Amino acid sequence: METHVTIKPKILGFTDSRCECDRCGKTNLKGTYCIETPDQGLLYLGSTCISRLMEYSSKETTKFIKSEKELRRKQKQAEIKAATQHLEDQMQVMREEQAALPSTEQEYLLGIPSYRKLWNKITEIKAEIEKNYTL
């Protein structure tokens, strides 16, 4: 008896550094999914071509894209956290020092130049990282 084993390509992940699909040639994509194929090596495909190649049903495609987005969101959060943790820690120390203040604490703290500086720095870092996550 002969058995047919279809080896599906491995999806390595999403990248926004490649915006052209290697399968259909579509350009101006938000990004592509990098896949590893047994015969053609690495390919970068748009989501439509990915689902065709993987023989996904529309339900599976939705699920796949949703999980990819969730993954990207988690990566982004982790990256922001890693980049801002030391600043957040400094802000936390300042917040604790001001703990006795009334409800306008945040406003008050933002009025303190060193606190505002930290706040602005974090906002800046976040915006910079957000730029790298278009999915």
- Check binding of 29 to Zn ion (CB under 5 A): no
Rounded distance, CA 51 to CA 49, Å? 5
Least spacing, CB of residue 17 vs Zn ion, in Å: 17
Of 39-78, which residues contact Zn ion (CB under 5 A)? 46, 49
Q: Longest C-alpha distance within the chain, in Å?
A: 79
- Of 89, 88, 47, the C-alpha closest to 68 is 47
Of 72-111, which residues contact Zn ion (CB under 5 A)? none
# chain residues binding Zn ion, by CB under 5 A: 6
105 phi and psi, to 5 degrees?
Answer: -50, -50
- Check binding of 23 to Zn ion (CB under 5 A): yes
Least spacing, CB of residue 62 vs Zn ion, in Å: 18
In 9-57, alpha helices (H): 47-53
- Of 5, 13, 53, 51, the C-alpha closest to 32 is 13
Q: Which stretch binds Zn ion (CB under 5 A): 16-24, 32-40, 86-94, 117-125?
A: 16-24
Nearer to Zn ion, 24 or 78 (CB): 24
- Check binding of 24 to Zn ion (CB under 5 A): yes
By DSSP bridging, strand 10-15 and strand 32-37 are antiparallel
Contacting positions for Zn ion (CB under 5 A): 21, 23-24, 26, 46, 49
